[in-house]
Amino acid sequence: MDGWPTHPSQEGAYKMNESEIQNLVNKLENKGFTEYAVTSINSRIEQVRFSQNSIDLTNLWDEANFHVFVAIGKKIASTVLKDVAEMDITIDKLWKSANSSPENRSFAGINPEKQKYPYNVNHRAVQHDLHEFSQAAIQSALDNGAERVAGTAYNIFEKVRTSTKYNKCEYTTGGIELNIRSFRGGFSGQEGIHWGLQSNVSKSDFERMGSESAETARVTERKESIEPGKYTVIMSPYVIGNIISSCAESLSYYSVETGMSSFGDQIGRKVAGDGVNLVDDPLDSTGDGFRACDDEATATKKNRIITDGQLNTFFHSYSTAVRSGSRTTGNAGIILPMPWQLKILPGRTKLSDMISGMKNGLLIENCWYTRFQDYRNGIFSTVPRDGVFLVQNGAIKGDLSGIRISDSFRNILSNIEEISSETKNAKWWQEVSSTNMPYVKVKNVNISRAF
């Protein structure tokens, strides 16, 4: 696998090789496990952190580990192995743990079907100077009105190999992430973007994110307030990305089975606005959610979850597919299937037209601290921040604070009435996973007080 990035501090860094991986697989087979799935990950992560308008920390991590899943019939166990010197001890512990565990009735085995993987899955690392790019982002924010700038940038490269009794898959993934937050007086703006290994990232991209975060912070210097109630809300890619990321588990068949989803009887039915098309696209390597296979070496593919508002499928592993009488979607999590890189496909409306056509509503650029009051029905609350604007008669009138979105996933999906042509590869901390999202205009959003 070519393309491993070089760095002086990497000399002597431990990386698992093919013979060690095969040795682990052989030991698992000889021990008597009926099923196994081993994923080795060699990763290099470079971090640049900045605050108070200057870079204050750099880090470089070189890591290697095995994620090991084993089964003896329906008795299962899993662990993470970080040191090959502990291989025999770890295998013995897995054997004892699996044997002493009750049978897991949700487990139907590892996918035995022979897989074909995409042609080009070994992309080269993105080689860029994060210090230079971060300095450019900071300066761009300051040039566009920010008084103070903070954030982090990452360059991530991973070599992944997944092996089972039936298939072997290897690929590279990763890319560049930038999170930048600009402050001006009592106002702030934030951008959180990811670029995959096949993105043409340049310094100008970092400069653009810096200027956009500053622009959000300087849009208005006027404070406004509203009463709790139902409002039409334009949600940015970060807001709808946060909601989709937080609620996506309810579209996993495992959640349906365990009674933690309100979508159980909704296949083939309308669950979202007419123009809503939600896909999971792990094969788009312009985003850092690229993944050539899932945790049981099933080849991934682009799955249409919702088409024109209609629910088509759940996320499936081999086990959930067997139990439901369907086919795996390549989303294992062997027990809990999950998405890799979600997208709401763009619409035809420009953001500027959404704003100009709004008589009385909100534009929310970001949110965080999303929490659930009722998982089964997807009832959640999330706190808007970094650009929360009152819009009246097509113009931004002022900035809002102290409010909360208190609603349900089903209501948000059903009430989407416009989708922008602009999209962003949105990703932020633990709030927004690797997504590509547009702006969406949602009617009847319940707004309550946060404090």
Residue 2 predicted with pLDDT over 50 = no
4-46 pLDDT, tens digit each: 555 543 434 446 778 888 999 999 999 999 999 999 999 999 9
d(CA 301, CA 317): 13
8-216 — its CATH code? 3.30.2290.10
* Mean pLDDT score, 220-244: 97
* Mean pLDDT score, 432-437: 98
Long-range contacts of 19-26 (CB under 8 A, 24+ apart): 20/84, 21/66, 21/161, 21/163, 23/87, 24/66, 24/68, 24/81, 24/84, 24/87, 24/91, 25/163
Query: Taking CA 272 as the corner, what is the angle to CA 267 and CA 273, rounded to the nearest 5 degrees?
Result: 140
**Where are the domains positioned within the chain?**
8-216, 219-449
Query: Taking CA 247 as the corner, what is the angle to CA 242 and CA 251, rounded to the nearest 5 degrees?
Result: 135
d(CA 403, CA 367): 11
DSSP-derived secondary structure letter, 260 = -
Q: Is the dihedral of CA 425, 428, 429, 432 positive or negative?
A: negative
Contact residues for 293 (Cβ-Cβ < 8 A; gap 6+): 115, 117, 162, 167, 169, 171, 299, 300, 330
Residue 406 predicted with pLDDT over 80 = yes
135-158 pLDDT, tens digit each: 999 999 999 999 999 999 999 999
Query: Taking CA 447 as the corner, what is the angle to CA 446 and CA 449, rounded to the nearest 5 degrees?
Result: 140
Gyration radius of the chain's alpha carbons: 23
Structure confidence at residue 258 (pLDDT): 95
260-310 pLDDT, tens digit each: 999 999 999 999 999 999 999 999 999 999 999 999 999 999 999 999 999
Percent of the chain exceeding pLDDT 70 equals: 96
